Structure 1
Amino acid sequence: MGYQLSAVVADAELLRERTVDLDHAVLGELRQDFALLPVTPQLVEELTGALPDYSTVERSPDEPFHLALSAALAEVLAGWSRSGPLAYLEAEFLGGAGYQSAVVWHGGETTWGPAFDRRFDGPRPEWPVNAALIRLGAEPGAWIDPFAELGLHVERSTAGWLAHGRRRLSADYWDELAEEWENRQSDAGQQPERASPVGDWGIP
């Protein structure tokens, strides 16, 4: 089963303030008062006035993102970061192989990254998405890493996060559904499908 993400993550109030007047902005709730903004072609066009470009070469340190962070898009996100740190995150996995990339802005400037990894042989906190989330202020908790602690494993795609945000679900939605099912002692065949456990790659 695969995983794909293209999103901005920041303090929930920051993102609400910056996107309140946008037609194509949908926020997904994360834990610790963070929110996730799925980055779609429609959103990029609304923010920049131009359709997005996508890299056709293999991801690498020189080409860390599938979405080309144009000067116009980077300027918008850097501007938002004057109200607090903000990260653009990308991840794609299929069959256990894939990549993570991330960059962080704060105070109107790039303060970390872009970072890229496809080997994941270093400490888990140094993986790009985890490292970016830590720089946003994510705190450790019961989950294996910041990726899971904030709930980025709850949906498996950018499209999933769009649906999640439109339904105004919480990051604990699947756990809440399972608890409700168990309390009602429904038939086993009615148990909702839950997000699978977070694996060694930091994704379910």
Structure 2
Amino acid sequence: MSYQLSAVVADAELLREQTTELDHAVLGELRQDFALLPVTPQLVIELTGSLPDFATDDRSTECPFGLVLSTALVEVLTRWSQSGPVAYLEAEFGAGSGYQSAAVWLSGELSWGPCFDDELEAPRPLWPINGALTRLGVEPGTWIDPFAELGLHLERNTNGWLAHGRRRLSADYWDELVEQWENQ
């Protein structure tokens, strides 16, 4: 089963305030009052006025993201981060191989990353997405790591997160369904 993620994650209220006027912004509710904004080509156009550019090279430390973070897009993330930490997260996995990349902006500047890993042999807290989420303020809980704690495992791709957001589902919704199924 494959997994794909291209999203901005931040405090839910911060993302609501920053995206309220955008036609192509769909927020997916996560745990701990965080939200996920799936990054689609339409959203990039709306935010930057330009078509998105995608890397043609394989992901690496030098080329950590599939989506090229244009100057205009970085300016948006930088501006948003003046209200609180903002992370851009990217992951792609399939058939046992893939990568994670992440970067965090805070107080109007890039504060961490970009961080890239395609082996994921380090302890889980050192994986790029977990590192970014920790810097956002995700607190440890009952789940295995910050990724699962927020519920980023609940949808498998951007279309799943778009549906999640449009249906106004919460990460807790899925937990409640599991509990119902287990009680039947």
Give TM class, smaller chain: over 0.9
* 2:174 equivalent to 1:166: no
Q: Per-residue deviation at 1:182?
A: 4.3
Distance 1:178 1:12 in 2: 24
Alignment-derived partner of residue 91 in structure 1? 91
Question: Counterparts of 1:136 and 1:48 in 2: how far apart (Å)?
Answer: 24
CA distance in 2, matches of 1:78, 1:165: 24
State the SS of the aligned residue for 1:54.
coil
Match of 2:100 in 1: 100
Unaligned segments of structure 2, at least 5 residues: none
Deviation at 1:96, TM superposition (A): 2.1
AA of the residue aligned to 1:112: W
SS at match of 1:153: coil
Question: Offset at 1:81?
Answer: 0.2
Q: Larger radius of gyration, structure 1 or 2?
A: 1
Q: How many residues align?
A: 184
* Aligned-partner Cα distance in 1 for 2:181–2:91: 32
1:137-156 equivalence runs, <5 A: 137-156=137-156
**Code of the aligned partner of 2:134:** I
2:48 maps to 48
How far the C-alpha of 1:159 sits from its partner, in A, is 1.0
Q: Deviations over 1:12-56 (max 9, x none)?
A: 000000000000000000000000000000000000000100011
Give, in angstroms, the shift of residue 149 of structure 1.
Answer: 0.4
3-state secondary structure, aligned to 1:5: strand
Task: Return the TM-score normalized by structure 1.
Answer: 0.88
Q: TM-score, normalised by structure 2?
A: 0.98
Distance 1:137 1:174 in 2: 23
How large is the Cα RMSD of the aligned pairs?
A: 0.9
Q: Deviations over 1:71-121 (max 9, x none)?
A: 000001110000000000000000221000000000110000000001111
1:177 deviation in Å? 1.7
Q: Give the % identical residues.
A: 75
CA distance in 1 between counterparts of 2:178 and 2:113 reads 38
Alignment of 1:168-183 (within 5 A): 168-183=168-183
